[in-house]
Amino acid sequence: MLTDVAPWTPTDAYVGGDWVEADEGRRFAVTNKATGEVIGEVPSMTAVETRRAIEAAEAALPAWRARTAAQRAEILQRWAALMLKQRDELARLLTLEQGKPLAESQAEIAYAASFLQWFAEEGRRIYGDIIPPHQPDKRIMVFKQGIGVACGITPWNFPSAMVTRKAAPALAAGCTFVLKPAEYTPLSALAVAALGEQAGVPGGVFNVVTCDKAGAAEIGAEMTSNPVVRKVAFTGSTATGKILMKQCAEHMKRISLELGGNAPFIVFDDADFAAALEGALICKFRNSGQTCISANRIFVQRGIHARFAAALAERAADLTVGSGLESGVQQGPLISPDAVAKVERHIADAQARGARLLTGGRRHTLGGTFFEPTVLDGIDQEMELSSAETFGPVAALRPFDNEDEVIRLANDTPYGLAAYVYTENNSRVWRLSEALESGIVGMNTGLISTEVAPFGGMKHSGFGREGSKYGIEDWVEVKYVCVGIRPAEGEA
Protein backbone atom coordinates (compact mmCIF):
# COMPACT_ATOMS: atom_id res chain seq x y z
CA MET A 1 0.00 0.00 0.00
CA LEU A 2 1.43 3.36 -0.96
CA THR A 3 -0.51 6.46 -1.75
CA ASP A 4 0.36 9.90 -2.99
CA VAL A 5 3.97 9.24 -4.04
CA ALA A 6 5.75 8.32 -7.27
CA PRO A 7 4.56 4.87 -8.44
CA TRP A 8 8.10 3.48 -8.59
CA THR A 9 8.77 4.17 -4.89
CA PRO A 10 9.59 0.85 -3.24
CA THR A 11 8.07 -0.19 0.07
CA ASP A 12 10.06 -3.38 0.60
CA ALA A 13 13.51 -3.61 2.12
CA TYR A 14 16.49 -4.30 -0.15
CA VAL A 15 18.77 -7.23 0.65
CA GLY A 16 21.19 -8.99 -1.67
CA GLY A 17 19.66 -7.29 -4.71
CA ASP A 18 16.12 -8.46 -3.84
CA TRP A 19 13.17 -6.45 -2.58
CA VAL A 20 12.05 -8.32 0.50
CA GLU A 21 9.54 -8.38 3.32
CA ALA A 22 10.34 -8.97 6.98
CA ASP A 23 10.42 -12.68 7.87
CA GLU A 24 7.33 -12.36 10.02
CA GLY A 25 5.65 -10.12 7.44
CA ARG A 26 5.37 -7.29 9.97
CA ARG A 27 5.25 -3.73 8.64
CA PHE A 28 5.09 -0.28 10.12
CA ALA A 29 3.43 2.86 8.87
CA VAL A 30 5.18 5.88 7.41
CA THR A 31 3.20 9.10 7.71
CA ASN A 32 2.87 12.41 5.94
CA LYS A 33 4.34 14.71 8.60
CA ALA A 34 2.09 17.60 7.61
CA THR A 35 -1.20 15.69 7.95
CA GLY A 36 -0.43 12.58 9.97
CA GLU A 37 -1.91 10.41 7.21
CA VAL A 38 -0.28 7.08 6.45
CA ILE A 39 1.48 7.20 3.08
CA GLY A 40 2.98 3.72 3.07
CA GLU A 41 4.10 0.73 5.09
CA VAL A 42 7.57 -0.80 5.10
CA PRO A 43 8.99 -4.00 6.64
CA SER A 44 9.68 -4.09 10.34
CA MET A 45 12.86 -6.14 10.42
CA THR A 46 14.97 -7.61 13.18
CA ALA A 47 18.51 -8.82 13.83
CA VAL A 48 17.79 -11.93 11.74
CA GLU A 49 17.19 -10.03 8.50
CA THR A 50 20.08 -7.67 9.35
CA ARG A 51 22.41 -10.66 9.67
CA ARG A 52 21.22 -11.83 6.27
CA ALA A 53 21.92 -8.40 4.78
CA ILE A 54 25.41 -8.46 6.28
CA GLU A 55 25.98 -11.91 4.76
CA ALA A 56 24.80 -10.56 1.40
CA ALA A 57 27.26 -7.67 1.72
CA GLU A 58 30.02 -10.14 2.60
CA ALA A 59 29.23 -12.30 -0.43
CA ALA A 60 29.27 -9.27 -2.73
CA LEU A 61 32.53 -7.89 -1.35
CA PRO A 62 35.21 -9.80 -3.33
CA ALA A 63 33.77 -8.94 -6.75
CA TRP A 64 33.05 -5.31 -5.85
CA ARG A 65 36.49 -4.83 -4.33
CA ALA A 66 38.11 -6.41 -7.40
CA ARG A 67 36.65 -3.81 -9.74
CA THR A 68 38.78 -0.84 -10.60
CA ALA A 69 38.01 2.48 -8.97
CA ALA A 70 36.98 3.75 -12.39
CA GLN A 71 34.44 0.96 -12.81
CA ARG A 72 32.95 1.69 -9.42
CA ALA A 73 32.97 5.40 -10.23
CA GLU A 74 31.00 4.82 -13.41
CA ILE A 75 28.16 3.24 -11.41
CA LEU A 76 28.19 5.94 -8.75
CA GLN A 77 28.05 8.66 -11.41
CA ARG A 78 25.11 6.92 -13.08
CA TRP A 79 23.39 6.70 -9.69
CA ALA A 80 23.86 10.45 -9.16
CA ALA A 81 22.52 11.22 -12.63
CA LEU A 82 19.40 9.14 -11.96
CA MET A 83 18.82 10.96 -8.69
CA LEU A 84 19.06 14.30 -10.43
CA LYS A 85 16.74 13.10 -13.19
CA GLN A 86 14.16 12.02 -10.61
CA ARG A 87 14.81 15.02 -8.40
CA ASP A 88 11.19 16.23 -8.37
CA GLU A 89 9.76 12.84 -7.37
CA LEU A 90 12.45 12.25 -4.75
CA ALA A 91 11.96 15.73 -3.31
CA ARG A 92 8.20 15.31 -3.08
CA LEU A 93 8.62 11.99 -1.29
CA LEU A 94 11.15 13.56 1.08
CA THR A 95 8.81 16.44 1.91
CA LEU A 96 5.92 14.06 2.49
CA GLU A 97 7.69 11.80 4.94
CA GLN A 98 10.00 14.38 6.53
CA GLY A 99 8.06 17.65 6.32
CA LYS A 100 10.62 20.18 5.05
CA PRO A 101 9.56 22.65 2.33
CA LEU A 102 9.82 21.36 -1.21
CA ALA A 103 12.60 23.79 -2.15
CA GLU A 104 14.72 22.44 0.73
CA SER A 105 13.97 18.88 -0.38
CA GLN A 106 15.04 19.75 -3.93
CA ALA A 107 18.28 21.15 -2.52
CA GLU A 108 18.78 18.03 -0.42
CA ILE A 109 18.43 15.71 -3.42
CA ALA A 110 21.11 17.70 -5.26
CA TYR A 111 23.24 17.59 -2.08
CA ALA A 112 22.72 13.81 -1.87
CA ALA A 113 23.70 13.30 -5.52
CA SER A 114 26.79 15.47 -4.99
CA PHE A 115 28.26 12.90 -2.57
CA LEU A 116 27.91 10.16 -5.20
CA GLN A 117 29.63 12.39 -7.76
CA TRP A 118 32.34 13.58 -5.40
CA PHE A 119 33.30 10.15 -4.09
CA ALA A 120 33.14 8.59 -7.57
CA GLU A 121 36.01 10.96 -8.31
CA GLU A 122 37.72 10.70 -4.93
CA GLY A 123 37.74 6.89 -5.09
CA ARG A 124 40.16 7.16 -8.00
CA ARG A 125 42.61 9.11 -5.87
CA ILE A 126 43.06 6.79 -2.90
CA TYR A 127 46.82 7.07 -3.18
CA GLY A 128 49.40 5.20 -1.15
CA ASP A 129 53.05 6.09 -0.46
CA ILE A 130 56.59 4.90 -1.00
CA ILE A 131 58.61 5.70 2.12
CA PRO A 132 62.42 6.04 2.18
CA PRO A 133 63.51 2.84 3.97
CA HIS A 134 65.27 2.57 7.33
CA GLN A 135 67.73 -0.08 6.05
CA PRO A 136 69.54 -0.45 2.69
CA ASP A 137 67.99 -3.87 1.97
CA LYS A 138 64.40 -2.84 2.60
CA ARG A 139 61.73 -1.03 0.62
CA ILE A 140 58.60 0.34 2.21
CA MET A 141 55.24 0.94 0.62
CA VAL A 142 51.91 1.96 2.02
CA PHE A 143 48.63 1.27 0.38
CA LYS A 144 45.03 1.85 1.32
CA GLN A 145 42.31 -0.75 0.97
CA GLY A 146 38.56 -0.49 1.51
CA ILE A 147 37.86 -1.76 5.00
CA GLY A 148 35.27 -4.36 3.94
CA VAL A 149 31.66 -4.72 5.01
CA ALA A 150 30.36 -1.52 6.60
CA CYS A 151 27.09 -0.42 8.14
CA GLY A 152 25.38 2.95 8.31
CA ILE A 153 22.63 4.21 10.58
CA THR A 154 21.12 7.42 9.25
CA PRO A 155 18.83 10.11 10.69
CA TRP A 156 15.46 11.47 9.61
CA ASN A 157 16.45 15.13 9.25
CA PHE A 158 18.34 14.60 5.97
CA PRO A 159 16.93 11.23 4.87
CA SER A 160 18.59 11.18 1.43
CA ALA A 161 21.82 13.11 1.87
CA MET A 162 22.98 11.29 5.01
CA VAL A 163 22.59 8.00 3.15
CA THR A 164 24.83 8.96 0.26
CA ARG A 165 27.27 10.89 2.48
CA LYS A 166 28.08 7.51 4.09
CA ALA A 167 27.43 4.99 1.34
CA ALA A 168 29.20 6.85 -1.48
CA PRO A 169 32.69 6.93 0.09
CA ALA A 170 32.22 3.37 1.33
CA LEU A 171 31.33 2.01 -2.10
CA ALA A 172 33.94 4.15 -3.85
CA ALA A 173 36.62 2.67 -1.58
CA GLY A 174 35.48 -0.87 -2.43
CA CYS A 175 33.43 -1.57 0.70
CA THR A 176 29.95 -3.08 0.67
CA PHE A 177 27.24 -1.57 2.81
CA VAL A 178 24.19 -2.26 4.95
CA LEU A 179 21.98 0.70 5.81
CA LYS A 180 19.37 1.19 8.50
CA PRO A 181 17.46 4.40 7.78
CA ALA A 182 15.48 6.26 10.45
CA GLU A 183 12.01 4.87 11.10
CA TYR A 184 10.37 8.25 10.34
CA THR A 185 11.82 8.44 6.82
CA PRO A 186 12.62 5.02 5.32
CA LEU A 187 10.96 5.69 1.96
CA SER A 188 13.61 8.17 0.79
CA ALA A 189 16.35 5.63 1.55
CA LEU A 190 14.49 2.90 -0.33
CA ALA A 191 13.98 5.23 -3.29
CA VAL A 192 17.72 5.97 -3.31
CA ALA A 193 18.37 2.19 -3.27
CA ALA A 194 15.99 1.66 -6.19
CA LEU A 195 17.94 4.18 -8.26
CA GLY A 196 21.19 2.52 -7.22
CA GLU A 197 19.84 -0.75 -8.55
CA GLN A 198 18.88 0.95 -11.83
CA ALA A 199 22.36 2.47 -12.01
CA GLY A 200 23.90 -1.02 -11.87
CA VAL A 201 24.99 -1.40 -8.25
CA PRO A 202 25.38 -5.19 -8.03
CA GLY A 203 23.12 -7.11 -5.63
CA GLY A 204 24.50 -7.19 -2.08
CA VAL A 205 26.77 -4.16 -2.49
CA PHE A 206 24.17 -1.80 -1.02
CA ASN A 207 21.46 -3.18 1.26
CA VAL A 208 18.68 -1.50 3.23
CA VAL A 209 16.99 -2.99 6.29
CA THR A 210 14.06 -1.08 7.72
CA CYS A 211 12.58 -1.29 11.19
CA ASP A 212 10.31 0.60 13.53
CA LYS A 213 11.49 2.50 16.59
CA ALA A 214 11.20 -0.54 18.85
CA GLY A 215 13.46 -2.61 16.58
CA ALA A 216 16.25 -0.06 16.14
CA ALA A 217 18.35 -1.09 19.16
CA GLU A 218 18.31 -4.75 18.07
CA ILE A 219 19.50 -3.89 14.56
CA GLY A 220 22.17 -1.55 15.96
CA ALA A 221 23.37 -4.33 18.26
CA GLU A 222 23.65 -6.75 15.34
CA MET A 223 25.59 -4.24 13.24
CA THR A 224 28.01 -3.47 16.06
CA SER A 225 28.57 -7.09 17.10
CA ASN A 226 28.54 -9.08 13.86
CA PRO A 227 32.16 -10.14 13.25
CA VAL A 228 31.85 -9.59 9.50
CA VAL A 229 31.21 -5.86 9.93
CA ARG A 230 34.38 -3.76 10.03
CA LYS A 231 32.93 -0.33 10.48
CA VAL A 232 29.76 1.42 11.63
CA ALA A 233 28.92 5.02 10.72
CA PHE A 234 26.20 6.79 12.63
CA THR A 235 24.51 10.18 12.51
CA GLY A 236 22.13 10.91 15.37
CA SER A 237 21.97 11.72 19.05
CA THR A 238 25.00 11.75 21.32
CA ALA A 239 23.23 9.35 23.71
CA THR A 240 22.74 6.70 21.02
CA GLY A 241 26.22 7.36 19.63
CA LYS A 242 27.73 6.51 23.01
CA ILE A 243 25.83 3.22 23.16
CA LEU A 244 26.98 2.26 19.66
CA MET A 245 30.55 3.26 20.49
CA LYS A 246 30.57 1.03 23.58
CA GLN A 247 29.21 -1.85 21.54
CA CYS A 248 31.80 -1.31 18.81
CA ALA A 249 34.58 -1.17 21.41
CA GLU A 250 33.57 -4.61 22.64
CA HIS A 251 34.13 -6.00 19.14
CA MET A 252 37.05 -3.72 18.16
CA LYS A 253 35.12 -2.20 15.27
CA ARG A 254 35.78 1.13 13.74
CA ILE A 255 33.08 3.73 14.15
CA SER A 256 32.49 7.26 13.01
CA LEU A 257 29.97 9.43 14.81
CA GLU A 258 28.27 12.61 13.66
CA LEU A 259 26.33 13.52 16.77
CA GLY A 260 24.46 16.38 18.35
CA GLY A 261 25.50 20.01 18.31
CA ASN A 262 24.75 23.18 20.21
CA ALA A 263 26.07 25.73 17.76
CA PRO A 264 26.98 29.23 18.92
CA PHE A 265 26.14 31.99 16.41
CA ILE A 266 28.17 35.11 17.20
CA VAL A 267 27.49 38.56 15.79
CA PHE A 268 29.97 41.36 16.54
CA ASP A 269 29.11 45.06 16.46
CA ASP A 270 31.24 45.45 13.32
CA ALA A 271 29.34 42.76 11.37
CA ASP A 272 27.43 43.38 8.17
CA PHE A 273 24.07 43.62 9.96
CA ALA A 274 21.86 42.56 7.04
CA ALA A 275 24.09 39.61 6.17
CA ALA A 276 24.17 38.46 9.79
CA LEU A 277 20.39 38.66 10.01
CA GLU A 278 19.93 36.60 6.84
CA GLY A 279 22.55 34.13 8.08
CA ALA A 280 20.81 33.71 11.44
CA LEU A 281 17.42 33.17 9.81
CA ILE A 282 18.60 30.49 7.39
CA CYS A 283 20.88 28.82 9.89
CA LYS A 284 18.20 28.71 12.60
CA PHE A 285 14.95 28.08 10.73
CA ARG A 286 16.14 25.85 7.83
CA ASN A 287 14.46 22.46 8.23
CA SER A 288 12.45 23.94 11.14
CA GLY A 289 15.66 24.10 13.17
CA GLN A 290 16.08 20.35 12.90
CA THR A 291 19.72 20.24 11.81
CA CYS A 292 22.72 19.27 13.91
CA ILE A 293 24.43 22.49 12.81
CA SER A 294 21.51 24.78 13.61
CA ALA A 295 22.29 27.93 15.65
CA ASN A 296 21.24 27.02 19.18
CA ARG A 297 22.66 30.02 21.05
CA ILE A 298 22.86 33.42 19.34
CA PHE A 299 25.35 35.84 20.95
CA VAL A 300 25.06 39.45 19.76
CA GLN A 301 27.47 42.17 20.86
CA ARG A 302 25.80 44.74 23.08
CA GLY A 303 26.05 47.70 20.65
CA ILE A 304 23.66 46.08 18.15
CA HIS A 305 21.96 43.48 20.31
CA ALA A 306 18.58 45.16 20.82
CA ARG A 307 18.26 46.13 17.14
CA PHE A 308 19.31 42.64 16.00
CA ALA A 309 16.89 40.87 18.37
CA ALA A 310 13.99 43.04 17.21
CA ALA A 311 14.83 42.54 13.52
CA LEU A 312 15.21 38.77 13.93
CA ALA A 313 11.87 38.54 15.76
CA GLU A 314 10.18 40.55 13.00
CA ARG A 315 11.61 38.34 10.25
CA ALA A 316 10.85 35.11 12.13
CA ALA A 317 7.24 36.19 12.70
CA ASP A 318 6.95 36.71 8.92
CA LEU A 319 8.00 33.18 8.01
CA THR A 320 5.23 31.23 6.31
CA VAL A 321 4.44 28.01 8.14
CA GLY A 322 2.56 25.19 6.44
CA SER A 323 2.74 21.94 4.54
CA GLY A 324 6.06 21.72 2.74
CA LEU A 325 4.22 20.87 -0.47
CA GLU A 326 2.50 24.26 -0.61
CA SER A 327 4.25 26.98 -2.53
CA GLY A 328 5.74 29.81 -0.50
CA VAL A 329 6.00 27.77 2.70
CA GLN A 330 9.25 28.43 4.57
CA GLN A 331 8.76 26.25 7.64
CA GLY A 332 7.17 22.82 7.71
CA PRO A 333 6.02 20.69 10.64
CA LEU A 334 8.33 19.14 13.22
CA ILE A 335 9.05 15.45 12.88
CA SER A 336 6.96 14.18 15.82
CA PRO A 337 4.90 15.10 18.88
CA ASP A 338 7.98 14.31 21.01
CA ALA A 339 9.94 16.95 19.09
CA VAL A 340 7.22 19.50 19.80
CA ALA A 341 7.22 18.57 23.48
CA LYS A 342 10.99 19.12 23.69
CA VAL A 343 10.72 22.54 22.05
CA GLU A 344 7.96 23.50 24.48
CA ARG A 345 10.04 22.29 27.41
CA HIS A 346 13.06 24.37 26.35
CA ILE A 347 10.92 27.49 25.90
CA ALA A 348 9.13 27.04 29.25
CA ASP A 349 12.41 26.42 31.06
CA ALA A 350 14.00 29.51 29.48
CA GLN A 351 11.00 31.71 30.34
CA ALA A 352 10.86 30.40 33.90
CA ARG A 353 14.52 31.39 34.29
CA GLY A 354 13.96 34.89 32.95
CA ALA A 355 14.20 34.78 29.14
CA ARG A 356 11.83 37.09 27.25
CA LEU A 357 9.66 35.84 24.42
CA LEU A 358 9.88 38.18 21.42
CA THR A 359 7.74 36.15 19.02
CA GLY A 360 6.16 32.70 18.69
CA GLY A 361 6.46 30.29 21.57
CA ARG A 362 3.37 28.18 20.93
CA ARG A 363 2.05 25.32 18.84
CA HIS A 364 0.87 26.71 15.51
CA THR A 365 -2.85 27.09 14.85
CA LEU A 366 -2.40 24.63 11.95
CA GLY A 367 -2.28 21.92 14.61
CA GLY A 368 -0.38 18.63 14.28
CA THR A 369 3.33 19.16 14.84
CA PHE A 370 3.46 22.67 13.41
CA PHE A 371 5.17 25.17 15.72
CA GLU A 372 5.50 28.93 15.58
CA PRO A 373 8.93 30.32 14.64
CA THR A 374 10.14 31.54 18.01
CA VAL A 375 12.65 34.12 19.23
CA LEU A 376 13.71 34.36 22.87
CA ASP A 377 16.03 36.97 24.33
CA GLY A 378 18.04 37.06 27.53
CA ILE A 379 19.07 33.41 27.72
CA ASP A 380 21.85 32.28 30.05
CA GLN A 381 24.09 29.23 30.38
CA GLU A 382 21.89 27.63 33.06
CA MET A 383 18.92 27.20 30.76
CA GLU A 384 18.28 23.81 29.23
CA LEU A 385 18.56 25.15 25.70
CA SER A 386 22.10 26.33 26.44
CA SER A 387 23.33 22.86 27.24
CA ALA A 388 21.09 20.64 25.08
CA GLU A 389 20.24 20.72 21.40
CA THR A 390 16.72 22.15 20.92
CA PHE A 391 16.26 20.75 17.39
CA GLY A 392 13.38 23.08 16.69
CA PRO A 393 12.51 26.60 15.46
CA VAL A 394 13.69 28.52 18.52
CA ALA A 395 16.23 31.32 18.15
CA ALA A 396 17.67 32.08 21.59
CA LEU A 397 19.69 35.28 22.07
CA ARG A 398 21.87 36.93 24.66
CA PRO A 399 24.15 39.98 24.58
CA PHE A 400 27.92 39.91 25.12
CA ASP A 401 30.54 42.61 25.64
CA ASN A 402 33.88 41.41 24.31
CA GLU A 403 35.70 38.76 22.33
CA ASP A 404 37.19 36.85 25.27
CA GLU A 405 33.83 36.61 26.96
CA VAL A 406 32.04 35.29 23.87
CA ILE A 407 34.72 32.71 23.12
CA ARG A 408 34.37 31.41 26.67
CA LEU A 409 30.56 31.30 26.40
CA ALA A 410 30.61 29.71 22.94
CA ASN A 411 32.95 26.93 24.08
CA ASP A 412 31.04 26.36 27.32
CA THR A 413 29.18 23.33 25.99
CA PRO A 414 29.99 19.63 25.76
CA TYR A 415 29.32 19.83 22.01
CA GLY A 416 31.60 20.94 19.22
CA LEU A 417 30.05 20.49 15.79
CA ALA A 418 29.49 23.91 14.21
CA ALA A 419 29.96 27.57 15.16
CA TYR A 420 29.21 30.78 13.27
CA VAL A 421 30.78 34.22 13.47
CA TYR A 422 29.87 37.49 11.79
CA THR A 423 32.54 40.18 11.85
CA GLU A 424 34.23 42.50 9.36
CA ASN A 425 37.46 42.45 11.36
CA ASN A 426 39.97 40.31 9.51
CA SER A 427 42.22 39.61 12.48
CA ARG A 428 39.22 38.51 14.48
CA VAL A 429 38.32 36.08 11.70
CA TRP A 430 41.62 34.32 12.31
CA ARG A 431 41.47 34.49 16.10
CA LEU A 432 37.94 33.09 16.29
CA SER A 433 38.62 30.40 13.68
CA GLU A 434 41.38 29.11 15.92
CA ALA A 435 39.69 29.60 19.30
CA LEU A 436 36.29 28.02 18.71
CA GLU A 437 36.06 24.39 19.78
CA SER A 438 34.06 23.04 16.87
CA GLY A 439 34.73 20.93 13.80
CA ILE A 440 33.15 23.49 11.48
CA VAL A 441 33.20 27.30 11.58
CA GLY A 442 30.95 29.42 9.38
CA MET A 443 32.65 32.80 9.06
CA ASN A 444 30.21 35.42 7.74
CA THR A 445 27.93 32.66 6.46
CA GLY A 446 25.12 30.62 7.95
CA LEU A 447 25.30 27.90 5.30
CA ILE A 448 28.31 25.64 5.46
CA SER A 449 27.23 22.27 4.04
CA THR A 450 28.96 21.04 0.91
CA GLU A 451 30.36 17.79 -0.38
CA VAL A 452 33.80 19.35 -0.91
CA ALA A 453 34.47 20.14 2.78
CA PRO A 454 34.95 17.88 5.82
CA PHE A 455 31.79 17.69 7.94
CA GLY A 456 32.18 16.49 11.52
CA GLY A 457 32.66 17.46 15.11
CA MET A 458 34.77 17.30 18.23
CA LYS A 459 33.99 16.78 21.95
CA HIS A 460 30.54 15.18 22.43
CA SER A 461 29.65 15.89 18.80
CA GLY A 462 31.67 12.84 17.79
CA PHE A 463 34.54 12.14 15.42
CA GLY A 464 35.24 11.17 11.86
CA ARG A 465 34.69 13.35 8.82
CA GLU A 466 32.18 13.02 5.99
CA GLY A 467 32.53 14.62 2.57
CA SER A 468 35.73 16.04 1.03
CA LYS A 469 39.06 14.28 0.50
CA TYR A 470 39.14 13.55 4.25
CA GLY A 471 35.83 11.69 4.05
CA ILE A 472 37.32 8.73 2.22
CA GLU A 473 39.91 8.09 4.93
CA ASP A 474 37.30 6.68 7.32
CA TRP A 475 36.57 3.87 4.87
CA VAL A 476 40.08 2.54 4.22
CA GLU A 477 42.70 0.56 6.08
CA VAL A 478 46.28 1.74 5.81
CA LYS A 479 48.57 -1.20 5.07
CA TYR A 480 52.35 -0.99 5.23
CA VAL A 481 54.36 -3.53 3.24
CA CYS A 482 58.04 -3.96 4.00
CA VAL A 483 59.93 -5.63 1.14
CA GLY A 484 63.32 -7.18 1.82
CA ILE A 485 65.54 -7.08 -1.25
CA ARG A 486 68.65 -9.13 -1.96
CA PRO A 487 71.75 -7.74 -3.64
CA ALA A 488 72.16 -8.49 -7.34
CA GLU A 489 73.83 -11.85 -8.10
CA GLY A 490 77.58 -11.86 -7.79
CA GLU A 491 77.54 -8.90 -5.43
CA ALA A 492 78.24 -9.25 -1.76
Considering the complex, state which of residue 224 and residue 291 has its C-beta at the smaller distance from ligand SIN: 291
Considering the complex, state which of residue 43 and residue 393 has its C-beta at the smaller distance from ligand SIN: 393
Nearest approach, Cβ of residue 454 and ligand SIN (Å): 12
Considering the complex, state which of residue 50 and residue 154 has its C-beta at the smaller distance from ligand SIN: 154
Residue nearest to ligand SIN (CB): 449
Nearest approach, Cβ of residue 178 and ligand SIN (Å): 20
Nearest approach, Cβ of residue 465 and ligand SIN (Å): 12
Nearest approach, Cβ of residue 160 and ligand SIN (Å): 11
Considering the complex, state which of residue 224 and residue 449 has its C-beta at the smaller distance from ligand SIN: 449
Q: φ and ψ at 236, to 5 degrees?
A: 165, -150
User: How far is Cα 252 from Cα 269, in angstroms, rounded to an integer?
Assistant: 49
Considering the complex, state which of residue 75 and residue 90 has its C-beta at the smaller distance from ligand SIN: 90
Nearest approach, Cβ of residue 449 and ligand SIN (Å): 3
Question: Contact at 8 Å (CB) between 330 and 101?
Answer: yes
User: How far is Cα 261 from Cα 432, in angstroms, rounded to an integer?
Assistant: 18
Strand partners of residue 416: 458
Residues that bind ligand SIN (CB under 6 A): 157-158, 235, 258, 291-293, 449, 455
Distance in Å from the first CA to the final CA of the chain: 79
Considering the complex, state which of residue 199 and residue 293 has its C-beta at the smaller distance from ligand SIN: 293
Nearest approach, Cβ of residue 287 and ligand SIN (Å): 8
Amino acid letter at 368? G
Residues forming the active site: 258, 292
